[in-house]
Structure 1
Amino acid sequence: MGFEDLMEHVARGFELIGVAVLVTGLVWSVAVAVRLWRGAGGRRAYQALRELFGGALLLGLEVLVAADLIRTVAVAPTLEGVAVLGLIVLIRTFLSFSLQVEIEGVPPWRRALTSGATVLSRAAAPAHSPSPGAAKHSD
């Protein structure tokens, strides 16, 4: 078994893992959604289904792109293969961006305004803090 055969098997392994992630993600998402449907209602169940499966879809796409990358670079490094890989990466990037905006509800450049330290600092800040030069003077 040569190097190219080994890399082809590795790429196939990545493809199998990617498909397993997608199938497992779908089954898990549906199971959680059904459980939520019974307890919290349809709206929350639908939201959970979209968020969970969207995350599984993103992860599955990443693994499948890794398989394509291994196959293109290590197995058949042709100009046509690299062009196809570039197109796949562009499509995956667009899908990933779109899915992430759908899941989180905000574009990545606005995410800092709705999460993490920014939200905590706003919550902990006093309602009105005077500017440093506005100290009260008593006569």
Structure 2
Amino acid sequence: MTTLKAKLQDDLTTAIKARDELRSSTLRLTLSAITNEEVAGKTARELSDAEVLKVIAKEAKKRREAADAFAKGGRPEQAERELAEGRVLDEYLPKQLTDEELREIVAQAVEEAKAAGAEGPRAMGAVMKIVNPKVAGLAEGGRVAAAVKELLA
């Protein structure tokens, strides 16, 4: 069974051979972020696929944030480059939930929290505890929090 990290390394080799600069630089940066994560802490270790996915998601989020910053700063070329790198990383992430799917999961969690006695804006923490494990890796935290706030209001 090929690990996700091994797949990234294979894809990097393919991208280098194909002279795909965008893909190879994006994968190189991501692999070094994975390596940094592996050597962080007291002992070096091999990351599980789930942990590698978290690193990829974090890297993809950095690209989106950088793209926003570049766009607001009037630098569309850099913004487009960051978005393109983000799209490369998105290929390795699970398909994100649509707004409707996310809203449905959050609505169920709100009902569960109500049944447990948590209601209104103060129920935010209780609802997030129910929702987060269900949407881990499938929706960004900011989107989840916004959906929860909206349905609790």
* TM value normalised by structure 1: 0.36
Q: Which has the higher contact order (CA 8 A, sep 6+)?
A: 1
Of structures 1 and 2, the larger Rg is shown by 1
